[in-house]
Amino acid sequence: MPSTPRTLLEKIWDAHLVCAPEGEQPLIYIDRHLVHEVTSAQAFEGLRLAGRRVRRPEATFATPDHNIPTTDRRLPIADAISRQQIDTLRNNCREFGVRLFDLGDADQGIVHVIGPELGITQPGMTIVCGDSHTATHGALGALAFGIGTSEVEHVLATQTLRQSKPKSFEVRVEGSLHPGITAKDLVLYIIGQLSTEGGTGYVIEYTGPCIRSLGMEERMTVCNMSIEAGARAGMIAPDQITFDYLRGRDYAPRDFEAAVAAWKKLPSDPGARFDRTAIYQGGDVVPQVTWGTNPAQVVGVDATVPDPAAIADASERDSSNRALEYMGLTSGTRISDIALDRVFIGSCTNSRIEDLRAAAKVVQGYSIAPNIHAMVVPGSGRVKRQAELEGLDKVFTAAGFEWREAGCSMCLGMNPDTLSPGQRCASTSNRNFEGRQGKGGRTHLVSPAMAAAAAVAGHFTDIREWRYRS
Partner 1 sequence: MKPFVTHTGVVAALDRANVDTDQIIPKQFLKRIERTGFGQFLFFDWRFRPDGSPEPEFELNRPEAAGASILLSRRNFGCGSSREHAPWALADYGFRVVIAPTFADIFYSNCFQNGMLPIRLDEQDVEELFRRTAQATASGGSPYTLRVDLNTCTVADSAGFSKPFEIDAFRRTCLLQGLDNIALTLDHVDSIAAWEAAHGLPPVAAQQP
Contact positions vs partner 1 (CB under 8 A): 18-19, 21, 23-25, 27, 29, 38-39, 41-42, 45, 50-53, 55-56, 66-67, 79, 81-82, 84-85, 88, 130-132, 146-151, 153-154, 157-160, 162, 164, 196-197, 200-201, 227, 230, 232, 294, 315-316, 318-319, 322, 412-414, 421, 431, 433-436, 439
Question: CB of residue 418 vs partner 1: minimum separation in angstroms?
Answer: 9
Distance CA 261, CA 365 (A): 46
What is the CA angle 407-412-417, rounded to 5? 65
How many helices (H) and strands (E) the chain has is answered by 15, 19
Name the residue nearer to partner 1 (CB basis): 71 or 149: 149
Name the residue nearer to partner 1 (CB basis): 67 or 221: 67
Question: CB of residue 434 vs partner 1: minimum separation in angstroms?
Answer: 6
Question: CB of residue 277 vs partner 1: minimum separation in angstroms?
Answer: 20
Start-to-end CA distance of the chain, whole Å, equals 58
Question: CB of residue 453 vs partner 1: minimum separation in angstroms?
Answer: 27
Question: CB of residue 80 vs partner 1: minimum separation in angstroms?
Answer: 9
**Residue 271: exposed, middle, or buried by beta-carbon count in 10 A (0-12, 13-18, 19+)?**
exposed
Three-state secondary structure call for residue 27: strand
Spatial contact of 421 and 342, defined as CB atoms under 8 Å apart: no
Distance CA 328, CA 247 (A): 48
Question: CB of residue 57 vs partner 1: minimum separation in angstroms?
Answer: 10
Spatial contact of 6 and 123, defined as CB atoms under 8 Å apart: no
Q: Where are the beta strands (DSSP E) in 149-222?
A: 160-162, 167-174, 202-207
Name the residue nearer to partner 1 (CB basis): 424 or 436: 436
Name the residue nearer to partner 1 (CB basis): 16 or 382: 16
Spatial contact of 34 and 145, defined as CB atoms under 8 Å apart: no
Contacts of 387 (CB under 8 A, 6+ apart): 353, 356, 360, 378, 393
Question: CB of residue 421 vs partner 1: minimum separation in angstroms?
Answer: 8
Name the residue nearer to partner 1 (CB basis): 225 or 358: 225
Return the closest-CA partner of residue 347 out of 382, 381, 376. 376
Name the residue nearer to partner 1 (CB basis): 283 or 435: 435
Q: How many residues does the chain have?
A: 470
Name the residue nearer to partner 1 (CB basis): 148 or 391: 148
Distance CA 222, CA 199 (A): 14
Distance CA 102, CA 407 (A): 12
Element (H, E) at 66: none
Distance CA 89, CA 77 (A): 14
Question: CB of residue 360 vs partner 1: minimum separation in angstroms?
Answer: 29
What are φ and ψ of residue 23, in 5° steps? Answer: 80, 5
Distance CA 350, CA 348 (A): 6
Identify residue 31 by its one-letter amino acid code. Answer: D
